[in-house]
Amino acid sequence: MLGVFSVMWSEHCSYKNSLVMLRTLPREGEALLVKAGEENAGLVDIGDGLAVAFKIESHNHPSAVEPYQGAATGVGGIMRDIFAMGARPIAALDSLRFGPLSDNRVRYLFDGVVRGIGDYGNCLGIPTVAGDVYFEKSYRGNPLVNAMTVGIVRTDRLAHAVARGEGNPVFVIGSSTGRDGIHGATFASEEITEESEERRPQVQVGDPFTEKLIMEATLELIENGCVVGVQDMGAAGITSSASETAAKGGVGMELDLDKVPLREKGMIPYEIMLSESQERMLIIAKKGREEDVRRICDKWDLNCAEFGRVTSDGMLRVKWHGQVVVEIPAQSLAAGEGAPVYTREAEKPDYIDKLRNYDFNKLPQPEDCNLVLLSLLGSPNIASKAWVFEQYDTMVQTNTVVLPGGDAAVLRIKGTNKALAMKTDCNSCYVYLNPRRGAQIAVAEAARNVACTGAKPVAITNCLNFGNPYKPDNYWQFQEAVLGMGEACRQLNTPVTGGNVSFYNENPDGAIYPTPVIGMIGIMDDVHLHTTTWFKSPGDWIVLLGRNKGEVGGSEYIKMVHDLIAGDAPSLDLKFEKRLQQFLLQAIHNGWIKSAHDTAEGGLAVALAECCFLDHEHWVGAEIKLGENMRSDFLLFAEDQSRIVVSVAAEDLTHLQQLAKKQEIPLLVLGKVTNNARLRIHHRDKLVIDLPIVQMADVYFSAIQNAMEIY
């Protein structure tokens, strides 16, 4: 029984150190069909009798010691959360963080994680279409692997993670139970140390081919009305799936471990209950439908064992060899109820004020901004992630409209005119410098990315990656970030549908940067109106929506050129951000916008360069004139928020300007798209950037590939 409490009261399962703050987030909205935490994933009504289910989770610690299987099983676990609701997965996203690529072990981890994600998703037939990848020193010993899945479900075919109905049979279907993954949940609730390599047996082994069979069988069981409840056997395996569904239904459950299919001899109840063997589902079936469950599982060649029943006494009772080995009130194990909930001590770190007061004006100006732009385009944080996404099948299921490499992915919803846009985002340097504003920026930028495709942002999921919560400075970062996230979500009307908290992301060198990853979903009523990132035709006007401020705190420019992480995160006006996105969506709907690209890492110069070459088949140039009274390097490379570069046909520019004036959106005509295959930027009559598109593109598309060829 102590083993059961140890996993269910662990941070990973109980959220004991985070629930107080998570409950402050906006968790309701007019399109939400369930509140955050009520089901395995968030659920948003998209009309036509359909809903989108989506969620993001971490698999950081397993990936740090066994990158391939750690990443693969992270993908498998989040997939099961989605199809356990009756939703068919249509897309995967991944948000990854690693140390510098100059480090041999980092390259080993990066390679293993990407292959694990790719192999699992490809075998399962789910396209991986978007995500984000960053490289910072703080992740050298503790990479982050956050996996997100998006699925579509008919609203009249929803399944719930609940046990009800005294006497209803309980089944385990899928793989046999082994000793892999035992205490994986508690492993994820402690810091990574030099001894963590010895914890490899607690990293599960994935089997995507079995997962595919389980997915089809589970969806068929739900479609046929055989089930009362469905739950993935993820962290803590049988223990968590049985106790959580029983507690949610206000019932008990009696299990007989002698009936569980085992793949190893001599397993004891402790091992069977805590095993995290992959590709297993708990099915609470309707009494009288047992043979239907067996028939469907036989069809898909899956283990199917009836090993328990629902009771009315509220107890989780487990038998083995005729003896009761566990007898615990299910409610006592439930997160936020029987499990403990704490508010930890919080203290603002000393480094915040020291870094925030840095005077950037004392930095020397670069002699050649061309070299700076090329360096930024070659930064792994900015450069093309094609080395990553080209290992993924991005087109399987034939729904993908906008491929990886742009602001956000777009997938059509078959049988309708609608589409979904999706993106993950978080600049952890901003969060490190200013946790509250950095989290606001993560929400705002994820929404802006989605809006740039023509989709309306509607809801988020989140994966909150932080250090040890028992350390007051780490908990202060967490508190501030959650508060900032809540403020942004309320202002942008993108409620939180659920997600994951991953604490203890530390190694002997210290904690990671606080990294609250945002997974944003947007809805597009007409897929034909989708907008892409790149410039289209010579002669089009290039326009900046938003205002240049020259704020370089936390920027890639300051980091790369001056080897500094200092200052404050860029300023952000959430009310203006909302107006900007609404303006953009209206202009796209009116047919005036030919391309739209968020201005983010690397600033305006990088955004303009990307717009010239992100269309692999048709490169164009740009002639730009800037007149702001500020340093050229700050103007070109600052990462000011709430800015979007758009291109407009000559006949539509006046319409756009009139709408911008009416809605009080700053609009600056920067120049024109050209056919001379060069990016030329003038600042106050001085030519500060003059580079061939082919040179910039070569640096941008080859940087990560070249770094990984060393490996």
Mean pLDDT along residues 614-639: 96
Per-residue pLDDT at 37 exceeds 90: no
Residue with tokens 């080209």: 390
Domain of residue 248 covers 159-341
Is pTM beyond 0.85? Reply is: yes
Per-residue pLDDT at 307 exceeds 60: yes
Amino acid at 132: D
Structure tokens at 397: 């299921």
Q: Among 341, 360, 395, identify where a domain stops.
A: 341
User: 3-state DSSP call for residue 652?
Assistant: helix
One domain, residues 235 and 378: no
Judge contact between 252 and 316, C-beta under 8 A.
yes
What is the helix (H) or strand (E) element at residue 686, kind and residue range? strand 686-692
One domain, residues 563 and 628: yes
Task: Give the pLDDT band (50/70/90) at residue 205.
Answer: confident
One domain, residues 376 and 325: no
Taking only the tens place, the pLDDT of each residue in 133-172 is 999 999 999 999 999 999 999 999 999 999 999 999 999 9
65-79, 186-200, 612-626, range with the lowest pLDDT: 186-200
For residue 501, tell me if it sits in a domain: no
One domain, residues 544 and 652: yes
Q: How many beta carbons lie within 10 A of that of residue 390, not counting itself?
A: 14
One domain, residues 318 and 244: yes
Task: Give the pLDDT band (50/70/90) at residue 449.
Answer: very high
Taking only the tens place, the pLDDT of each residue in 582-596 is 999 999 999 999 999
For residue 113, tell me if it sits in a domain: no
Taking only the tens place, the pLDDT of each residue in 361-411 is 999 999 999 999 999 999 999 999 999 999 999 999 999 999 999 999 999
Interacting residues of 291 by C-beta distance below 8 A, sequence separation 6+: none
One domain, residues 327 and 200: yes
pLDDT of residue 195: 53
Q: How many beta carbons lie within 10 A of that of residue 39, not counting itself?
A: 23
Judge contact between 594 and 536, C-beta under 8 A.
yes
For residue 256, tell me if it sits in a domain: yes
Distance CA 80, CA 399 (A): 21
For residue 20, tell me if it sits in a domain: no
CA 560 to chain centre: 26
One domain, residues 194 and 336: yes
Phi-psi region of 48 (alpha: psi -120 to 50; beta: other; left: phi over 0): left
Task: Give the pLDDT band (50/70/90) at residue 34.
Answer: confident
Distance CA 631, CA 256 (A): 72
| Alpha-carbon distances, residue 440 vs 96, 138, 482, 641 (angstroms) | 20, 21, 9, 11
> Radius of gyration of the chain from Cα atoms?
26
Mean pLDDT along residues 431-437: 98
One domain, residues 567 and 706: yes
Number of structural domains the chain divides into: 2
One domain, residues 637 and 707: yes
Mean pLDDT along residues 180-192: 57
Percentage of the chain modeled with pLDDT above 70:
97
Taking only the tens place, the pLDDT of each residue in 381-392 is 999 999 999 999
Nearest residue to 161 via CA among 249, 72, 222, 94: 249
pLDDT of residue 192: 57
pLDDT of residue 199: 46
Per-residue pLDDT at 232 exceeds 80: yes
618 is catalytic: no
8-state DSSP, 622 = E
One domain, residues 260 and 377: no
| Alpha-carbon distances, residue 312 vs 1, 19, 39 (angstroms) | 21, 28, 22
Task: Give the pLDDT band (50/70/90) at residue 617.
Answer: confident
Per-residue pLDDT at 183 exceeds 80: no
Nearest residue to 497 via CA among 8, 87, 187, 62: 87
pLDDT of residue 507: 86
For residue 71, tell me if it sits in a domain: no
Distance CA 18, CA 474 (A): 12
Judge contact between 456 and 524, C-beta under 8 A.
yes
Interacting residues of 163 by C-beta distance below 8 A, sequence separation 6+: 170, 228, 229, 242, 245, 246, 248, 249, 251, 253, 284, 310
One domain, residues 337 and 374: no
Judge contact between 224 and 283, C-beta under 8 A.
no
Residue with tokens 């029987």: 338
Taking only the tens place, the pLDDT of each residue in 491-536 is 999 999 999 999 999 988 899 999 999 999 999 999 999 999 999 9
Interacting residues of 22 by C-beta distance below 8 A, sequence separation 6+: 15, 36, 37, 482, 501
Task: Give the pLDDT band (50/70/90) at residue 123.
Answer: very high
Judge contact between 311 and 251, C-beta under 8 A.
yes
59 is catalytic: yes
Structure tokens at 6: 């140890």
Distance CA 75, CA 57 (A): 9
One domain, residues 632 and 565: yes
Q: How many beta carbons lie within 10 A of that of residue 529, not counting itself?
A: 18
For residue 48, tell me if it sits in a domain: no
CATH number of the domain within which 709 lies: 3.90.650.10
Per-residue pLDDT at 188 exceeds 70: no
Per-residue pLDDT at 189 exceeds 50: no
Mean pLDDT of the chain: 94
Q: Active-site residue among 12, 160, 530, 683?
A: 12
Task: Give the pLDDT band (50/70/90) at residue 202.
Answer: low
pLDDT of residue 33: 87
Q: How many beta carbons lie within 10 A of that of residue 315, not counting itself?
A: 20
For residue 187, tell me if it sits in a domain: yes
Task: Give the pLDDT band (50/70/90) at residue 454.
Answer: very high
For residue 526, tell me if it sits in a domain: no
Per-residue pLDDT at 329 exceeds 80: yes
Judge contact between 375 and 390, C-beta under 8 A.
no
| Alpha-carbon distances, residue 648 vs 62, 140, 540, 548 (angstroms) | 47, 43, 5, 20
